[in-house]
Copies of this chain bind each other. A is one copy, B any other.
Amino acid sequence: MSLLDGLLGDSDLARIMGDAAQIAAMLRVEAALARVEGRLGIIPPEAAKAIAGVAADLHPDAAALEPGTARAGIPAQALVTALRSACGPHADWVHFGATSQDIQDSALVLQLRTALEVMAERLGALDAMLAEKSAAFADQPIPARTRFQIAAPTTLGAKIAVWRAPLGRHLQRLDELRPRLFNVSFHGAAGTGAALSPSTDEVRRALADALGLSAPEIPWHATRDAIAELGGWLALVTGSLGKIGIDLILLGQSEIAEVAAGTGGGSSTMPQKSNPVAAEALVTLARLNAGDTGTLHQAMIHAQERDGAALGLEWAVLPQMVVRTGAALRIGLDLATTLVPRPERIAATFAADRGAMMAEAATFALSRQMPRAEAQRLVAEALRAVAETPDRTLAQALDALAPGGDWTERLRPARQTGEAARQADAGKPSREDKT
């Protein structure tokens, strides 16, 4: 559709959240409603059958419903008009006892259910791939960098374990929010279900059953916490992927290049470049969803029994957040799959650092044999020697200042990665049973 779809979009999620799918979902809800009402004797059985049949065959395109949507301020109403006119003598029984928002919201939930299945699957696949990579590189030393400075050694596996850790939590959050989200809406014009009273509740439960949803007693026309919560979840997912993105960008800088992932984007004029296009996209998608989750929370301030101004915010923002999340997961999986360390570049970083990043380790080692303040003074002096003498390493400087310590061996990075390997080896798919 759009120039940027391959970069920042996702065709699967765009289809699931798109107009055609929305129209189909609304028709599915209307059909289910007719069938349920027919079965319960609320509308004539032949009307029910006819409506359900017409709804199954109807494929109005978005363009045809657009003017009616603009007039009514809600797509469902334009669709109901189209459905009625296609149902001929049974038109009276279409949408019986429902309000437009009931159909709109129930259809939205059906779309979201499908979208969340796809996202959960991608999240699971990404989790598994990162687990694999984390385990594979559990022992590959690499510098940890805090506040954009080399800090101390860790391993690539531990870095990946950190990326992976929130994914399991996201799946857990998804399990928790699903029951709050997967609700049918069938409460009628004023939220009281008055039109079909006292059968409303029975219809609602039957409709919910037919669609595989729950049937809340209290209407959610105007309390949109489940939608805002979902927006937050989407932003959490893209936020975690944005963290992977910024890390890959920084690890892939020309001067560092310790990890490669994906195929770099070429420059139109600089052949030597390998731009981190996919990793940048992860950051972009995360920032876009972060901004939009704020807007979606604005939509919770929803006036009275229905507020078109607030609903419009959801309609504009939620689908693009879903698509972006799908895009980020697809891109993230591609990057995770192709991720490889470049050991020679990592080795070069360690060499250039000349052991400065082992300063904390040296201090702790020395502290075992002298007061800590003295150890710190010694290490500081050694660091000065490293800074001032071109090829001097911290180990060599310490050999001179605190002889007999076999500093080269004691300060070998691989010896000083603490729990990194264990963190990395925790790398087995956390929810293999579920995804």
Give the interface centre of A4, A148, A353 by most chain B CB atoms within 10 Å: A148
Given contacts A144-B192, A152-B192, A217-B423, contact A309 B297 (CB under 8 A): no
The answer to the question of A369 belonging to the interface, with a C-beta cut-off of 8 Å to chain B, is: no
- The answer to whether the Cβ of A65 comes within 8 Å of any Cβ in the partner chain is yes
- For residue A259, give the distance in angstroms from its CB to the closest CB of chain B: 12
Known: A144-B305, A191-B158, A281-B312. A7 touches B243 (CB 8 A): no
Q: Is there a chain B Cβ closer than 8 Å to A178's Cβ?
A: no
A264 CB to closest chain B CB, in angstroms? 8
With both beta carbons as reference points, the residue of chain B lying nearest to A277 in the complex is identified as B73
> Once bound together, how far apart are the Cα atoms of A40 and B359, in whole Å?
25
Is B192 in contact with A270, judged by CB distance below 8 angstroms? Answer: no
Pairwise interchain contact A162-B361, C-beta atoms closer than 8 A: no
* A7 vs B273: C-alpha distance when bound (angstroms): 37
Residues of B within 8 A of A200 (CB): 418-419
A408 within 8 A of partner (CB) = no
A359 touches B218 (CB 8 A): no
- Is residue A12 contacting chain B, with contact meaning CB distance below 8 A? no
Question: 8 tightest A-B contacts by CB?
Answer: A294-B294, A239-B300, A6-B70, A284-B312, A92-B372, A194-B418, A73-B277, A232-B232
Task: State the majority secondary structure of interface residues on A.
Answer: helix
CB distance from A177 to the nearest CB of B (A): 8
Give A324's nearest chain B residue, CB to CB: B316
Q: Are B62 and A373 in contact (CB under 8 A)?
A: no
Query: Cβ of B293 and Cβ of A92 under 8 Å apart?
Result: no
Q: How many residues of A contact B (CB 8 A)?
A: 174
**Cβ-based interface call for A188 (8 A):** yes
A124 at the interface (CB under 8 A from B): no
Asked if B146 contacts A306 (CB within 8 A), the reply is: yes
Question: What residues of B have a CB within 8 angstroms of the CB of A152 in the complex?
Answer: 189-190, 192, 194, 270
- B417 and A192 form a contact (CB under 8 A): yes
Can you list, as one digit per residue, whether each of A372-384 has a CB less than 8 Å from chain B (1) or not (0)?
1100100110010
From residue 78 to 102 of chain A, which have CB atoms closer than 8 A to chain B?
Answer: 78, 80, 91-93, 95, 97-100
Known: A280-B147, A312-B284. A271 touches B376 (CB 8 A): yes
When C-beta atoms are compared, the residue in chain B nearest to A64 turns out to be B3
- Contacts A162-B191, A193-B418; A73 near B148 (Cβ below 8 A): no
Q: How far is the CB of A35 from chain B (nearest CB, A)?
A: 19
Partner of A253, one of B91, B148, B226, B235: B148
Chain B: minimal CB distance from A365 (Å): 10
A266 close to chain B: CB less than 8 A: yes
A145 near B: Cβ within 8 Å? Answer: yes
Residues of B within 8 A of A266 (CB): 71-72, 77
Q: A240-B223, A416-B194 are in contact. Are A169 and B161 (CB under 8 A)?
A: no
User: A228 at the A/B interface (Cβ < 8 Å)?
Assistant: yes
**Closest chain B residue, CB of each to CB of A225:** B166
A295's closest neighbor in chain B, by CB?
Answer: B291
